[in-house]
Amino acid sequence: MKKLKKRSWAEPWKIKVVEPIKMITKAEREKAMKEAGYNTFLLKSKDVYIDLLTDSGTNAMSDNQWAGMMIGDEAYAGSKNFYYLWDNVKKYYGFPYFVPTHQGRAAEHIISQIMIKPGDFIPGNMYFTTTKLHQELAGGTFVDVIIDEAHDPESEHPFKGNVDLQKFKDLIKKVGAKKIPYVSIAGPVNMAGGQPFSISNLKQVKKIADKHGIKLWLDATRITENAYFVKERERGYKSKSISDIILEICSYFDGIWVSAKKDLMVNIGGFLATRNKKVFEQARNMVVVYEGLHTYGGLAGRDMEAMARGIEEMVNYDNIHARVGQVEYCGTKLEEFGIPMVKPFGGHAIFLDAKRFLPHIKQDEFPAQTLAAEIYIDSGVRGMERGVVSAGRDKKTGKHHYPKLELVRLTFPRRVYTQAHIDVTVESVAEVFSLRKSIKGLKMIYEPKYLRFFQARFKKIK
Ligand code: PM9
């Protein structure tokens, strides 16, 4: 008789509403990909079978969140949903002041414009596309001070999101603390593969920053995942709740910005929150220029209600355990086929290492862009490029940035797909891996000015 080795876990929810999906034929997928210029962002969603493009705004809301949508108070000013959301931001993130925005990058825009002066430098634990662009548009220069291990897909460091303290100190020495308005920390680090920072590293960063009068700001978009990894991996946190860990992390920061489209499991929304009254007053004034009145920030009352309820759900341990567990399930299955990936597996996605997957394709022929397109053609599974295309060009030389990490992200929307969808995805990646030697790279034929990965077009190299 087969002996039970370990007990399985299951998602803490059951499915009440379903949205039909279907797989179109391979010939149709080839045509769709060509028409989309080999850019998965340009595919029509009706042509996608399993959509792992992003976990942003693609989540399944709970019955409780949908019920909340029905009590949306759509008053132009002072909606009751705004006050409920504000209360939850205070309670779960620990900041007294709060400004809603329609999504994360709107909050990044406001914070960058308030905090950064032309000529400033912003150290951070690896760039994120929209964050860095807003810092640059405000006249700043982003400086990567993440530990070297973060750029190595094979390093098994448990906290690859940590700041390299020496790199941070060197920057202060080089440019002077006055030119560093804040340290821009993200947790987990999206572009590094969803890798967390540790609280002990954060405390050390804070100590150096305090000594020089430099503030810390946090991109808390997926902070629940970072808190989960701290609980699992950092000494002293095992018995703490996710909620307590988030509150402790936030206590080291002057403020945060959040894309609510991730942790909060809503389809739209964002916000910034701070303990700095002056920054708050400025942000509250700027939001009326770009988003709408400060009590709705470009959102409907019902959206804010769903966000407020989403915060309460995101801190539920079983929820976050199932979420990260799904990513781990996918990674473990892929490992059985010898697929090269970023290790350890991240919180929101599996990142395929395109450099090792397609070693015969040079980085300026876009291996990750190519791989994302090939997986879609094989099975209708849509992932996204996180490599040279996402990294953009050097502002001074005009040449491509060539990041060490050339990755395809298979991102899991929260509460959307089952293990069977993951099995289909794994088999597709394995199939493409078995045919990898015959795959040719791409040539870029159209490049937009900003965030080119969203809209660039490519053609196949013959
Ligand atoms: N992240 C993602 O798919 C959606 C757009 S970029 C492909 O990962 C962080 C850490 C993010 C993020 C968006 C934003 C911007 C800020 N910080 O998309 O504007 O991952 O709500 O947030 C995406 P918004």
For 387-435, the pLDDT digits (tens) are 999 999 998 999 999 999 999 999 999 999 999 999 999 999 999 999 9
237 and 230 Cβ atoms separated by less than 8 Å? yes
Residue ranges of alpha helices (H) inside 218-316 are 223-233, 242-251, 277-290, 301-314
Indicate if 354 and 208 belong to the same structural domain: no
Taking the whole predicted model, whether its pTM rises above 0.75 is answered as yes
Band (274; pLDDT cuts 50, 70, 90) = very high
Report yes or no on 12 lying in a domain.
no
Atom of ligand 1 nearest to the CA of 222: 10
Indicate if 230 and 111 belong to the same structural domain: yes
Q: 137: which 2 tokens? A: 């548009």
Report yes or no on 214 lying in a domain.
yes
Atom of ligand 1 nearest to the CA of 186: 10
Indicate if 49 and 156 belong to the same structural domain: no
Indicate if 284 and 427 belong to the same structural domain: no
| Residue 103 CB–ligand 1 contact under 6 Å | yes
pLDDT at 237: 98
| Residue 190 CB–ligand 1 contact under 6 Å | yes
pLDDT, the chain, mean: 98
Taking CA atoms only, the protein residue closest to ligand 1 atom 18 is 104
* Number of structural domains in the chain: 2
Indicate if 282 and 393 belong to the same structural domain: no
| Residue 369 CB–ligand 1 contact under 6 Å | no
| Residue 221 CB–ligand 1 contact under 6 Å | yes
CA-only gyration radius of the chain, Å: 22
Alpha-carbon distance 33 to 35, whole Å? 5
Q: How far is the CA of 270 from the centre of ligand 1 (A)?
A: 10
Indicate if 416 and 362 belong to the same structural domain: yes
Atom of ligand 1 nearest to the CA of 103: 21
Atom of ligand 1 nearest to the CA of 261: 21
pLDDT at 30: 98
Cα–Cα separations (whole angstroms), residue 199 to 196, 205, 226, 229 = 10, 10, 10, 11
Band (85; pLDDT cuts 50, 70, 90) = very high
106 and 127 Cβ atoms separated by less than 8 Å? no
Indicate if 270 and 127 belong to the same structural domain: yes
Q: How far is the CA of 130 from the centre of ligand 1 (A)?
A: 7
| Residue 261 CB–ligand 1 contact under 6 Å | yes
Indicate if 369 and 428 belong to the same structural domain: yes
338: exposed, middle or buried (C-beta count within 10 Å: 0-12, 13-18, 19+)? exposed
Q: How far is the CA of 276 from the centre of ligand 1 (A)?
A: 24
pLDDT at 148: 98
Query: Across-strand partners of 255?
Result: 217, 274
Residues 6+ away with beta carbon under 8 Å from 336: none
Band (2; pLDDT cuts 50, 70, 90) = confident
| Residue 130 CB–ligand 1 contact under 6 Å | yes
Indicate if 246 and 104 belong to the same structural domain: yes
322 and 9 Cβ atoms separated by less than 8 Å? yes
Band (6; pLDDT cuts 50, 70, 90) = confident
Annotated catalytic sites, by residue? 76, 128-129, 219, 262, 386, 453
Indicate if 101 and 228 belong to the same structural domain: yes
Domain closes at, from 314, 330, 361: 314
What domain range is 288 assigned to? Answer: 64-314
Taking CA atoms only, the protein residue closest to ligand 1 atom 5 is 56
Residues 6+ away with beta carbon under 8 Å from 5: none
Q: The CATH number of the domain where 115 resides is what?
A: 3.40.640.10
Report yes or no on 6 lying in a domain.
no
pLDDT at 5 over 90: no
Q: The CATH number of the domain where 44 resides is what?
A: 3.90.1150.10
pLDDT at 105: 98
| Residue 102 CB–ligand 1 contact under 6 Å | no
Task: Give the single-character DSSP code of 129.
Answer: H
